[in-house]
Structure 1
Amino acid sequence: MPTPVTAIFDIGKTNKKFFLFDDSLRQQHREYHKLPAVTDDDGFPCDDLPGLTRWIRDTVARTLADDRYTVKYLNFSTYGATLVHLDADGHPVTPLYNYLKPIPDDVVREFFRRYPEADNNTETASPALGMLNAGLQLYWLKTCKPAVFARIRHTLHFPQYLSYLFTGMLASEPTSIGCHTRLWDYHHRRYHRWLYEEQLDHLFPAVVPTTHTFPATLHGHAVTVGIGIHDSSSALAAYMLRTQDPFALISTGTWSITLNPFTREPLTAHELSRDCLHYMTIHGAPVKASRLFLGHELDHQLKRLNTVFGKAPQYYKQIPFIPALINPDAPDTNTFYPETLNNPALVGDVFKQDQWSPARYSTFEEAYHQVIWGLARLQVASLRLALGNSPVRKLYLDGGFVSNTAFLDLLRSLLPEYTLEVSQRPLGSAQGAALIVRNQDHARLTGMAAATSDASAPIARESLQADPGL
């Protein structure tokens, strides 16, 4: 008898993942897919959108044909700050621009001349982050690539584009709009006025709730397809269903993002300058967050250490935590200092010197412990910004750092007043997407926060024909 399953694509910057969950949310299947990077029309690295689309479609077709499973639901969780622009025929106009791609300084200066930075940052609850402020991508295209911009008829956030591939329906949803896009005015709970003044608002389809689904027939099978969700918000939704006690989630990976849905404190200029911002729950309520490019920094430092000490890339995984190798009282000239974190204010709060040398250490193990000690201190500083004065005393940590015992032990020693619970199965965003598409415990989902008027808007009237090959 085939097992009824919910199929989830969890698309990260590094790994593209596919999961099947049964009705009890037990994992029945998983696969990881590495997608080689390509370059965009300016030569900057980016994800291969056509290649990703082929893999997703092929994986769905293969799973539907597998007589071990009956796919009842399909949903998508992806990284944020990424837009897909469609032409009049519903085809992508541009590459999938990388959120690390720089926007020319003169374009940013002109934007902030028209919409003063301090006010715009506060109103949109986001620091200035270049292309990570995804809304600025449209402003950049309009300014720098007018011929390309003229072809755009619709703009979708990345999760909603993957849903569109199977439904042909155009829609926007709250979590993708609210993740440091600079599109949303958190003070007035609507799109920000700059979007209207630049006449860009019409490109975004109407907003539907994150729990919205579409019926679809895929290769002759009836499947309920979700609208998709931003990955950090998806992970948060899964944890909010676990407990009613105040908590914060530290979601780790390339980015470490601390999410605190239990505070309504407005962001201060001090916090904005240290990469604090607001995300959004599935019903449009703000979530105070702080970001740290933690996994990226660790990868950078491991490459340095591997070169200095002649070790294989995965060598660090076999190193046990040795507390004696951590010296909290070491002088500043003998401590770790990050080199790829674009957050000088936060770094300056933690470290007082501006360079370090792994070659000063006699072994890989000693240098590695110093790196992890420094990263744990940075994580604590970032966490405390997101916590503010909220009543949170429980912390969840999931994602790529759950298997790093040195990091976890150091966090616990630095945060003795908090309970830190670690997820041994880093599936938070995938499981959240599964819960949402199935509308499990819908009363709890609805009760997470009051919905905004936009979040309950009707489905977009515009639709394009779904791919007949499905």
Structure 2
Amino acid sequence: MNAVAIFDIGKTNKKAFLFNESYQIVWENSVNLPETTDENGFPCEDILALKNWFLQCWEEMKLQTQYHLKAVNFSTYGASFVYIDEEGNPLTPLYNYLRPYPEKLKNKFYSKNKGEEVFAVKTASPVLGSLNSGMQIYRLKKENPEVFDKVKYCLHLPQYMSFLLTQQGFTDITSIGCHTNLWNFNKMKYHKWIEKQNITEKLAPIHSSEDAVIIENDIAVGIGLHDSSSALIPYIINFEDPFVLLSTGTWVITMNPFNDKKLTFEELQNDCLCFLQYKGKPVKASRLFAGNEHEIQSLKLAKHFDVAVDSYKHVLYDKEIITKLRAKFKQYTKGDSKILKDCPFNKRDLSEFENYDEAYHQLMLDLIAQQIVSTKLVIHNSPVKKIFVDGGFSKNSIYMNLLAEAFPEMEVYAASMAQASSLGAALAIHKSWNTKPIQNDLIDLKFYKH
């Protein structure tokens, strides 16, 4: 049977899978690689260790003789460049997108480009320092011109992984279209600052995310995708009716592929952005640090009530508790965007709650109050009728029931599938390896009534 190899490179976990033609995982491998540091001592990905693990896995996959390995593709975290020379060797560490950005250099950049507000709206990129990957190129050019001169290509991480097999440089629209400061969303082309800084020739040719290059043994190699865009692909393929996807993890990212309204500066300030999905269409998205907040508050609750840290996993939605809490405590239901800056639960006095279950229900009420505002930012003025939730919160009955109640005009579903971003990368190059039609049961749905 035909199979496709997928490498899913996260900041923490590196995973490799073989999918058969029915999109079932038939082989897997995962590793956590220790970080190294850059020249300033800031933690970063060990690019050599990553390369070695990848090539070792690739050889193992080719030995799985029960499957006919037809293709390979990549889904990786974004905002990360590998600068390669003429021989294809990295010239710098794989700088961390969390490393602090020099304020003076940032101010110089924006003052040359009509200021933060005008530039951010044009590029659909909130001002995020190193998380705007184009700013990393600008920094390299200004701080290290000798190294910059040796750069043949600046490759985002998914395209570097592909390069290791093809020795060909490509640029993928999902990588350059995600808060990079590189893409002009008004004109749907590179922003002119890139040409002015003589960076254009160091960006490899743009190719479709559905393209593949044939290497030895007739294996098709995809050019790779940004993981957020990749995780959206199964939904775009499986559902025609307008929807939003809440992808929940450390961040809860609300993605709306059916909102083509231009971003406003106010939306950008509230952590909205646009990225490009694999067919090049804009997706409006909002971010909320809700998974991280949930983790912090769960630790506080466990300590205060002297219970296990993961006790919340056993707390089921209780409508009576919700009714009681709404009568007893102030709830945040105005929909003011100020709520996005700080979770109301931070100001709650835990001694006022009778028990752990009651306090945890209030935490979820406060997180949902924030989520309503964040999600409405991207649902506004669009024809969306369905909300899909995947990731950690999709398994939380309190979160799901409160979300369904908050959006009574929507159909709200908990969605689950194995490895969404890996599945998306496999689907993107379906025609290069799979002889079967794409089935419509890749995603399991559970409907929540309001």
TM-score normalised by the chain length of structure 1: 0.83
Q: 1:15 aligns with which of 5, 13, 31?
A: 13
Question: Per-residue CA shift, 1:192-233, capped at 9, x if unaligned?
Answer: 01111222222110101111101122xxx4321111111121
Q: Which residue of 2 aligns with 1:379?
A: 371
1:28 equivalenced with 2:23 (yes/no): no
Aligned partner of 2:107 among 101, 106, 109: 109
User: Alpha-carbon deviation of 1:349?
Assistant: 7.8
Shift of 1:85: 1.3
Deviates more, 1:115-124 or 1:420-429: 420-429
Aligned to 2:447: none
Contact 2:183–2:190, Cα closer than 8 Å, also in 1: yes
1:205 aligned counterpart, secondary structure: coil
Q: Tell me the C-alpha RMSD between the 2 structures.
A: 2.8
The offset of 1:151, in angstroms, is 3.9
- Cα separation, 1, equivalents of 2:343 and 2:288: 15
Q: 1:307 to 1:279 in 2, by over 3 A?
A: same
Q: Would you say 1:280 and 2:276 are equivalent positions?
A: yes
Question: 1:156 corresponds to which letter in structure 2?
Answer: L
Corresponding residue for residue 197 of structure 1: 196
1:267 matched to 2:266: no
Are positions 1:179 and 2:175 aligned together? no
Tell me, yes or no, if structure 1 residue 62 matches structure 2 residue 60: yes
CA distance in 2, matches of 1:37, 1:357: 39
**Greater CA deviation, 84-93 or 183-192?**
84-93
Match of 2:164 in 1: 165
Q: Which amino acid aligns with 2:268?
A: L
Amino acid at match of 1:276: C
Moved more, 355-364 or 30-39: 355-364
- Name the CA distance, whole Å, in 2 between partners of 1:32 and 1:316: 28
Residue 154 of structure 1: CA displacement? Answer: 1.4
Q: Deviations over 1:420-467 (max 9, x none)?
A: 22222253222111111123899x99xxxxxxxxxxxxxxxxxxxxxx
Give the stretch that moved more between structures: 379-388 or 169-178. Answer: 379-388
Tell me what 2:218 maps to. 222
Q: Is the contact between residue 155 and residue 204 of structure 1 (CA under 8 Å) also seen in structure 2?
A: yes
Deviates more, 1:232-241 or 1:302-311: 302-311
- CA apart distance, 1:401: 2.7
CA distance in 1: counterparts of 2:38 and 2:398, whole angstroms: 38
User: Are the structure 2 counterparts of residues 131 and 349 from structure 1 closer, same or farther at C-alpha, using a change threshold of 3 Å?
Assistant: closer
Aligned-pair distance for 1:103? Answer: 0.7
The change in CA–CA distance for 1:38 and 1:404 in structure 2 (over 3 A counts) is farther
Matches within 5 A, 1:324-343: 324-326=320-322, 327-331=325-329
Contact 2:5–2:72, Cα closer than 8 Å, also in 1: yes
| Aligned mates of 1:307, 1:203 — CA distance in 2 | 52
| Pairs within 5 Å for 1:285-324 | 285-324=281-320
Paired amino acid for 1:43: G
Q: Check whether the contact 2:340–2:373 (CA below 8 A) recurs between aligned residues.
A: no
Indicate whether 1:400 and 2:385 are aligned.
Answer: no
Retained in 2: the 8 A contact 1:372–1:406? yes
Given the alignment, which residue of 224, 234, 238 partners 1:238? 234
Structure 1 stretch displaced more, 226-235 or 405-414: 405-414
Q: Distance in 1 between matches of 2:242 and 2:82?
A: 36
Give the partner amino acid of 1:317: K
Q: Work out the CA distance in 2 between the residues paired with 1:407 and 1:37.
A: 34
Query: Are the counterparts in 1 of residues 395 and 414 from structure 2 also a CA contact under 8 Å?
Result: no
SS in structure 2 at match of 1:241? helix
Matched with 1:432 is: 424
Q: Separation in 1 of the partners of 2:368 and 2:90?
A: 41
Residue type at the aligned position of 1:435 = L
Work out whether residues 402 and 426 of structure 1, in 8 Å CA contact, stay in contact via their aligned partners in 2. no
Alpha-carbon distance between aligned partners in 1 of 2:219 and 2:350, rounded to the nearest angstrom: 53
Scaled by the length of structure 2, what TM-score is found?
0.87
Aligned to 2:448: none
In structure 2, do the counterparts of structure 1 residues 203 and 363 end up closer, same or farther at CA, with 3 Å as the change threshold? farther
Structure 2 residue matching 1:97: 3-state secondary structure: coil
Q: For the Cα contact (< 8 Å) 2:270–2:337, is it kept in 1?
A: yes
Residue pair 2:245, 2:255 contacting (<8 A) in 1 also: yes
The answer to whether the 8 Å contact 2:124/2:185 transfers is yes
After TM superposition, give the deviation of residue 295 of structure 1 in Å: 2.4
Size of the alignment, in residue pairs? 431
Structure 2 spans left out of the alignment, 5+ residues: 439-450
- Show the 5 A alignment for 1:58-97: 58-97=56-95
From the superposition, tell whether residues 354 and 300 of structure 1 become closer, same or farther in structure 2 (CA, over 3 Å): closer
Q: Which amino acid in structure 1 is aligned with residue 24 of structure 2?
A: R
Distance in 2 of aligned mates of 1:97 and 1:362: 48
**Quick check: 344-353 or 279-288, which moved more?**
344-353
Q: For structure 1, list consecutive stretches of 5 or more residues without a partner in the other structure.
A: 336-343, 446-470
Return closer, same or farther for 1:348/1:79 CA change in 2, 3 Å cut-off. Answer: closer
- Aligned ranges for residues 37-48 of structure 1 at < 5 Å? 37-48=35-46
Q: Kindly indicate whether the alpha-carbon contact (under 8 Å) linking 1:346 and 1:381 is maintained by their aligned counterparts in 2.
A: no
Residues 151-201 of structure 1: per-residue CA shift (max 9 Å, x gap): 433100111111111111100011111011110001111100111122222
For residues 372 and 47 of structure 1, what CA distance do their matches in structure 2 show?
A: 34
Q: 1:216 to 1:113 in 2, by over 3 A?
A: same
